[in-house]
Amino acid sequence: MVTIREVAKESGFSSTTVSIVLNNAPLSRYIPETTKKKIERAAKKLGYRPNLFARTLRNQRTHTVGVMVFDMTDPYCTPILRGIENTLYQASFLPILTDVHNERSRFERYLEMLLDRKVEALIIVANWLFVDIDVLGDLEKNNVPTAMIGREPHTRSIGSVMVDNEQGTQMAIQHLFALGHRQIAFLRGPKHITDTAPRWKGVQDFAKKNGLEIDRKLVLDLPESRDPLSPFDAGYKLTMELLETKRPFSALMAFDDMTAFGAIRALTRAGIKVPEQCSVVGFDDIAHSRYLTPGLTTVRQPMPEMGAMAVSLVSEGISAVQEKRKITLNHRKLSPELIVRESTAAVV
């Protein structure tokens, strides 16, 4: 390994001077160009790369952020991670990725590991299950700016990025309404998930405003579960139950895309064509949605942007820590977008 001392020797100056020059430190304004040139040339010649661990030991900076996902296999995560990665890259930060598999013990172990590595910030992708773990203790104490994606934390001091759920379902129901649907079935989310309530509120608000009557018999709730893939099975099962009641409906609005896939499977099995005989809308716009046939009409969460936004929130926090200001992180709500594909059609 080439050290700063070797560069010093090669260039004929002391390591102090080398350090000052290569870091463009304040003092470097006194150092003549010729000296700088020589040092830079020597560094280049030897292929000098400063040892980041020595540097961190001195100045405490790691240029690393921890990313915690609750379940990577949830297709909702990937685009978010992409957004995080891309934004960090621009800032020359590197992410340490951890997946807690929805297990508390794993969460705690990983948190400890990340703190040991002095990540400068933490981003939590709280998809699906996340019963408010008291992260705060350790985090606040350690002064690590933290942002959460997809869940509103119960604490100040932790930033958050969410999609505007209410707005999303309003767009969806508005779309169905405009297509002439009046008998609409709903597969609501599990009660313990915080997205469930606002999404339903969006529907209700629209219904009230536009005189749409909601048939309570056509409203079902997904069961609680800690498996991000189970909504598919639940969607399938609930739709089957719905069909058995023989209550007619011309459209179905699912809690999320995965649920919608399950519903489509059930409808197809029952010989009901989508969208000709029944329209289906989802929520999320996970990657699958575009590729299944028919393509799923859904409400897109701007996932890469949410990742990017989380990074910019914690960046603020990092600056604050650097300048010894108190950290305060914001809460952001991003607008969703209605993506109309082939799973919805006008009533005949």
Q: How far apart are CA 260 and CA 294, in angstroms?
A: 12
333 binds a copy of itself (CB under 8 A): no
User: Which window, 53-61, 190-198, 202-210, 241-249, contacts a copy of itself (CB under 8 A)?
Assistant: 53-61
Tell me which residue of 52, 43, 54 sits closest to 18, measured CA to CA: 43
Q: Smallest distance, Å, CB 281 to DNA?
A: 54
Q: Between residues 67 and 185, which has the closer beta carbon with respect to a copy of itself? A: 67
Q: How far apart are CA 50 and CA 97, in angstroms?
A: 25
User: Which window, 55-63, 129-137, 174-182, 331-339, contacts a copy of itself (CB under 8 A)?
Assistant: 55-63
User: Which window, 9-17, 54-62, 164-172, 313-321, contacts a copy of itself (CB under 8 A)?
Assistant: 54-62
User: Can you read off the two tokens belonging to residue 74?
Assistant: 């949830």
Strand partners, 94: 64
Q: Smallest distance, Å, CB 116 to a copy of itself?
A: 5
Q: How far apart are CA 153 and CA 157, in angstroms?
A: 9
Q: Between residues 42 and 238, which has the closer beta carbon with respect to DNA? A: 42
Q: Smallest distance, Å, CB 36 to DNA?
A: 8
297 binds a copy of itself (CB under 8 A): no
User: Can you read off the two tokens belonging to residue 187?
Assistant: 């597969």
Residue 22 interacting entry, from DNA, a copy of itself, none, C-beta within 5 to 8 Å by type: DNA
Looking up tokens 């509103």 gives 152
Tell me which residue of 227, 214, 150, 155 sits closest to 185, measured CA to CA: 214
Q: Smallest distance, Å, CB 31 to a copy of itself?
A: 25
Residue 335 interacting entry, from DNA, a copy of itself, none, C-beta within 5 to 8 Å by type: none
In the list 39, 147, 149, 264, the residue contacting a copy of itself (rule: CB under 8 A) is: 264
Cβ proximity of 216 and 183 under 8 Å? no
Amino acid (1-letter code) at residue 46? L
Cβ proximity of 296 and 343 under 8 Å? yes
Q: Which spans of this chain sit near DNA (rule: CB under 7 A)?
A: 1-5, 12-17, 19-20, 22-23, 25, 27, 30-32, 35, 48-51, 54-55, 57-59
3-class DSSP assignment, residue 149: strand
Q: How far apart are CA 18 and CA 8, in angstroms?
A: 6
Say if residue 294 is preceded by a cis peptide, omega within 30 of 0: yes
Looking up tokens 């990540």 gives 119
Q: Smallest distance, Å, CB 54 to a copy of itself?
A: 6
Q: Kindly report the length of the chain.
A: 348
24 binds a copy of itself (CB under 8 A): no
Query: What are the residues binding a copy of itself (CB under 8 A)?
Result: 49, 51-54, 56-57, 62, 64, 67, 72-73, 75, 77-79, 81-82, 85-86, 89, 92, 94-99, 101, 106, 110, 113-118, 232, 258, 261-262, 264-265, 268, 287-288, 290-294
